Amino acid sequence: MLAEEGVGPLESPDMAATRSSALDLYRRISQLPLGNWLFSRMVCWRAPYFGSIRPLFEELRPGYAVASMRKRRAVQNHIGTVHAIAMANLCELVAGTMTEVSVPANMRWIPKSMTIEYRGKAETDLRAIASLDPMPSFDTAADLLVPVDVKDENNKVVVHAVITMWVSPRPAR
């Protein structure tokens, strides 16, 4: 596709020029042993609340992110399944991090709303996938709808969320 080094199949050369420092960090660290774990801990240090679910980023690139969480006692509800709010937390984390590495450097974003559908019991470890297809142009302030599916180990969607991000130009400094 593009022969330029560091430009993935979903990126244009313009997008690569405006890449986020988070994406650069992920690309460097994820190559190391335990790199995905280290990057995940760094994200949770920056936004401590997400540490409650102990996420692990598995993939991250503009327009696409995957993070997982283990089913463990600290995230279970009274019936022994993964708590709905823990899954909502995973959805917001994967959508936000994907948005961070997708918007150009001259734009900023903030979560505006979330709709979430609980489609089944979460009885296993989970994997959340956020994907933008097609990639928007980000040339003006607008709502960005980020769909996220949370799947169990049997590839069954147990949660579907749509997180609305408000993307707008960064103020001039």
Range of the domain at 34: 13-169
Question: Domain holding 77: CATH number?
Answer: 3.10.129.10
DSSP assignment string, 123-151: -S-EEEEEE-SSPP---S-EEEEEEEEEE
Q: Tell me: the pLDDT tens digits for 17-72?
A: 445 799 999 999 999 999 999 999 999 999 999 999 999 999 999 999 999 999 99
Three-state secondary structure call for residue 22: helix
pLDDT of residue 15: 43
The CA distances from residue 58 to 68, 104, 166, in Å, are: 7, 22, 25
Determine, yes or no, domain membership for 98.
Answer: yes
Q: How many whole angstroms separate alpha carbon 139 and alpha carbon 77?
A: 43
Instruction: Name the residue among 101, 172, 93, 113 with its Cα closest to residue 138.
Output: 101
pLDDT the model gives residue 40: 96
Tens-digit pLDDT profile for residues 110-123: 999 999 999 999 99
Q: Domain for residue 7, yes or no?
A: no
Determine, yes or no, domain membership for 66: yes
- Does some domain include residue 106? yes
Question: Is residue 5 situated within a structural domain?
Answer: no
Q: How many domains does the chain have?
A: 1
* Structure-token match 């991250």, residue found: 60
58 within some domain: yes
